[in-house]
Structure 1
Amino acid sequence: MGCFHSVSNKSKVGPCRTNIFSDVQATIDQSPTVIEEYSPIVLRYRTPYFRANAQVIMPPIRRKETWTVGWIQACDYMKFINQYGTLGCSSWEIPALKSGRIPAVSDSDGVSYPWYGNTTEIATIVGPTDSYRRMNLTMNDNFYPSVTWDIPVSEGTNAHLTRIVRDQSFITWLAAVNETTKDIIVLKTVRWNFYLEIDIDPTRELGQRARIVAPRAQKQPLVTNGPGQIPISALVRPSANNAQTLIWRPTENQPIVVVPAK
């Protein structure tokens, strides 16, 4: 990736934060998380969607340059623990984020850095242009993971899973990027969190084991105006999916890396 950097608002020609109009709506669906207990090997759950919609009006671009406007997302906190009674727990972790070495990790699709996606999430304008351009940009995000009933270092199908706790925070920026200079203009910032607790009774029959204990509904996102800076780690590889590691922490022995980062 090139070197991205924020841009000042001194320029009177072409796009700057003060002459790009943007309006953002962001919500988390009020539908509950759905638990799926169909498999004897894994429990799955499907969470409500985070959704963001932006209306953007770009001013004329006087120079021969290309601008991309769209969504950039990063995870800045992650706690994802699966408890297996007194045997231990597994945890999905991003080591650089957990240690504080980086403030956030890119949540790109793993291809379209720094963008969250490359379809409805972005729009590109090639200058010069002599008129205002209107764009509608949308994105959505949810989780649909699988958690093994048995401890992750076992090849068995015995149910030992007793609790799932997931707590993640995200920052989602609506940004305009000059593709030539790599200048970034932050238009809006959305902060949102997803929290979930599931209790499991592994002695019960499949289909009757798990229940959601918190929360009944997710907190709604907070939208704020720019300006702002995006950490470099939120713009470049690796993505959160590729950076995370699954670690098994048995009660009486040393931790074991079950799934290393890609």
Structure 2
Amino acid sequence: MGVASSRPGAQYPSTQTAEMSPVQDIYRKVRISNVSAKIDNAPTKLDETSPTVLKYRTPDFRASALVQMGPLEEGEKWKVGWIQACTEMMFHNTYGADGFTSWEFPELKSGRPMISDCDGRHYPWYGSNDETAIFKGPCKEREAYVAMHDNFHPHVTWRNPANSGQKDPNLTRVQRDQSFYVWLVAWNMADRRSYILKTIRWTMKLDIMVQPQRPLGHRAKLVSDPVPEQPQLVSRNVPIPKCALVPPNANSAQMLVWRPCEGKPLVIIPPSWTEKALDPSPSNHQPDSRL
């Protein structure tokens, strides 16, 4: 994946070559099989054991593939793994007639097409364990299984977090609609060229109605379809924009905004990521290459 620099000393993978590299040639070196993408066929689980928050856990999205590499010569080194980016997010928690809280990404609000959903440490990869594999020459043919999974398991306050004087529970609805692209990418670590091997598109939608006046344990009900929409293996690979490869990632960019029915919005939790917080050390932002 070529190297692009958005500030002195910081190096990030770029998809400039990922869009143009001859994929037909790379298939002679990297071969994939048993590609799978699915969401567990189970409903979202609700948990009302806490007097302060409603918890829920969505079924897992899972992607996996068998990667066969080689043979490789001396000096050749490849990394193959999963990259994920969020393209859309609507996450509203409604508190009766007062208004709703909204988890938002300023980057998406400002017009970026997507935001990285990496682990925040090994840009741009989704993770650094089962999610990636490194192949180093010289060696004969080798294979590795790469897999990732994702789900949502947030806590939603029963009471309006923007009103410190709110005594009684007044959460009435939870809505979420979030979409992602996932790519299986091969990166030649010697010449820094990248190749998109597979593209996946998936969405998670849920709608929970809440009767806050009812006893704890009997308030929330899942009213959206309990059968999750299954992911799509995209027939033609989608290019990865640079914004999906560099900071910030989704967890550090998200902010919680109170949007009242009357009055001005209020930021309750600001993003934890800022430009000043970015460590300029090159070693912290190069693609991870440890064996």
TM range (shorter): over 0.9
For structure 2, the 5+ residue unaligned runs are 1-10, 273-291
Normalised by the size of structure 1, how large is the TM-score?
0.93
Corresponding residue of 2:86:
75
Residues 54-102 of structure 1, C-alpha deviation per residue, up to 9 Å, x if partnerless?
01111223351321101101101100011111001000000111232x1
Q: Which moved more, 1:230-239 or 1:16-25?
A: 16-25
In the other structure, the counterpart of 2:143 is 134
Q: Is the 8 A contact 1:91 1:246 kept in 2?
A: yes
- 8 Å Cα contact 2:36-2:63 kept in structure 1: yes
Aligned pairs for 1:147-158 (under 5 A) are 147-155=156-164, 156-158=166-168
Equivalent residue letter for 1:41:
T
Q: Is the 8 A contact 1:40 1:157 kept in 2?
A: no
Q: Which residue matches 1:99?
A: 110
Q: Which amino acid aligns with 2:65?
A: A
In the alignment, structure 1 segments of 5+ residues that lack a partner are: none
Q: Residue type of the partner of 1:106?
A: S
Measured in 1, the distance between the counterparts of 2:141 and 2:63 equals: 23
Q: 2:12 aligns to what?
A: 2
How many correspondences in the alignment? 257
Give the alignment of 1:58-207 within 5 angstroms.
58-62=69-73, 64-100=75-111, 102-129=112-139, 131-155=140-164, 156-207=166-217
Is the 8 Å Cα contact of residues 245 and 257 (structure 1) preserved in structure 2? yes
Q: Is the 8 A contact 1:9 1:17 kept in 2?
A: no
**How far is the alpha carbon of 1:19 from its aligned partner?**
4.3
Deviations 1:215-246 (A, max 9, x none): 12111111135644211111111110111110
> 2:79, 2:189 within 8 Å by CA — same for their partners in 1?
yes
Distance 2:235 2:56 in 1: 34
SS at match of 2:93: strand
Q: For residue 18 of structure 1, report the CA deviation from its aligned partner.
A: 5.3
Between the aligned partners of 1:211 and 1:205, the Cα distance in structure 2 is 13
Contact 2:21-2:194 at 8 Å conserved across structures: no
Indicate if the aligned counterparts of 1:4 and 1:182 stay in contact, CA closer than 8 A: no
- Cα pair 1:150 1:159 within 8 Å, conserved: yes
Runs of 4+ in 1 over 6 A off after TM superposition: none
Measured after TM superposition, the shift of residue 10 of structure 1 is: 8.0
Query: What letter matches 1:148 in structure 2?
Result: T
Amino acid at match of 2:88: Y
CA contact (8 A) 2:85 2:114 kept: yes
* Matched letter for residue 134 of structure 1: E
Cα distance change of structure 1 residues 227 and 62 upon mapping to structure 2, 3 Å threshold? farther
Distance 1:118 1:3, change over 3 A: closer
Question: Distance between the aligned counterparts of 1:72 and 1:58, measured in 2?
Answer: 19
**Structure 1 segment 217-228 matched on structure 2, within 5 A:** 217-224=227-234, 227-228=237-238
Residues 12 and 123, structure 2, Cα contact 8 Å, conserved in 1: no
Specify the alignment match of 1:46 in structure 2.
57
Which one-letter code corresponds to 1:141 in the other structure? D
- Contact conserved, 2:122 with 2:128, CA < 8 A, in 1? yes
RMSD of the alignment, in Å? 1.7
Contact 1:168/1:193, CA 8 A, preserved across alignment: yes
